Amino acid sequence: MGEPLLQVQNLCVEFQRHAIRAVDQVDLSVAAGETVGLVGESGSGKSTLARAIARLVPVAAGRIVFQGQDLLRLSPSQLRPWRRHVQLVFQDPLASLNPRMTVGDALQEPLKIFRPDMPPNERRAAVSLMLTRVGLQAGAAHRYPREFSGGQCQRIGIARAMIIKPALLICDEPVSSLDVSIQGQIVNLLLDMQRETHAAMIFIGHNLGIVRHVSHRVYVIYRGRIVEHAPCEELFLRPRHPYTRALIASIPQIPPVAVAVEPAVIETPHRTGGIRGCAFRDRCPHAREPCAAAAPALAPAAAGHWVACLRAGEI
């Protein structure tokens, strides 16, 4: 996919008050125009990682290099103009919009912040054009978020994120709160806008079918650690980590697809710092004594396919 637009190196996020290490030594990269999927059960650290990349939560250690610049070295004043290049689409579309602002005001706000030289009439024209682009009428600019459905609010959230043409769009479970009938429309809208703007995208999701549809590569995270990453089809067809295999085995299939794994019971883990050994060993049917000694490092299993499992070559 070319040179990385974003490189996350050895990233750690800790919440000292609760003695939790939510993100633990994560390495991740995204190339320009690429879509990277991020999957894992609830509580695995997906959203925290996304917010750390966007500099919305403090980072304990590591580097976040965007377009060759380490964001963790930027002062607040230096960080402000950078924010136009990374935008987020959130899980709850209504909660992410200010109920006291009209849709037009919400979409004009990023233009006022990052394009202060743009005349008011051009801002209004840009808002009308963007609303039309996401499938709403230009007259929606004069209405409030409460007057729209969840799917329409998510279209507004996408319009707000894309109106300043970011280089990276982070989608934090953008369709999980929407009706199934609406999810496909929103996913297709995201893909269409990505193709038009050549933006990169980090797509976080529970629905593995949607993640498979949109992603070029996929990272699997468990208890704050990346346990596997690979090109999308390689990961879904030949998963190497027992946790990834359990996730894929849990996907409903008609007709059922045989997967050589004992499906694990997916539950929210209790994440604390200082976990020794493989974090998945207590739930892994293949765990052996060496799995408790040290955390396995990511190692190559095939071209572009990395897995953190001592027994990946045996199972």
Q: Do the Cβ atoms of 122 and 116 come closer than 8 Å?
A: no
User: 160 in a domain, yes or no?
Assistant: no
The CATH number that applies at residue 14 is 3.40.50.300
Residues 6+ apart with CB under 8 A from 263: 246, 249, 250
User: 150 in a domain, yes or no?
Assistant: no
Domain that holds residue 230: 4-98+166-307
User: 127 in a domain, yes or no?
Assistant: no
User: 212 in a domain, yes or no?
Assistant: yes
Question: How far is Cα 313 from Cα 27, in angstroms, rounded to an integer?
Answer: 22
Q: Which pLDDT value is given to residue 266?
A: 39
User: 120 in a domain, yes or no?
Assistant: no
Query: pLDDT tens digits for the chain (315 residues)?
Result: 567 999 999 999 998 776 688 999 999 999 999 999 999 998 899 999 999 999 999 999 999 999 999 999 999 899 988 999 999 999 888 899 999 999 999 999 999 999 999 999 999 999 999 999 999 999 999 999 999 999 999 999 999 999 999 999 999 999 988 888 899 999 999 999 999 999 999 999 989 999 999 999 999 999 999 999 999 999 999 999 999 999 998 877 655 444 444 433 333 444 445 567 898 988 898 888 888 888 899 999 989 999 999 888 887
User: 132 in a domain, yes or no?
Assistant: no
Question: How far is Cα 204 from Cα 47, in angstroms, rounded to an integer?
Answer: 8
Question: How far is Cα 69 from Cα 219, in angstroms, rounded to an integer?
Answer: 23
Task: Please state the domain count of the chain.
Answer: 1
- On whether the pTM is more than 0.75, the answer is yes
User: 122 in a domain, yes or no?
Assistant: no
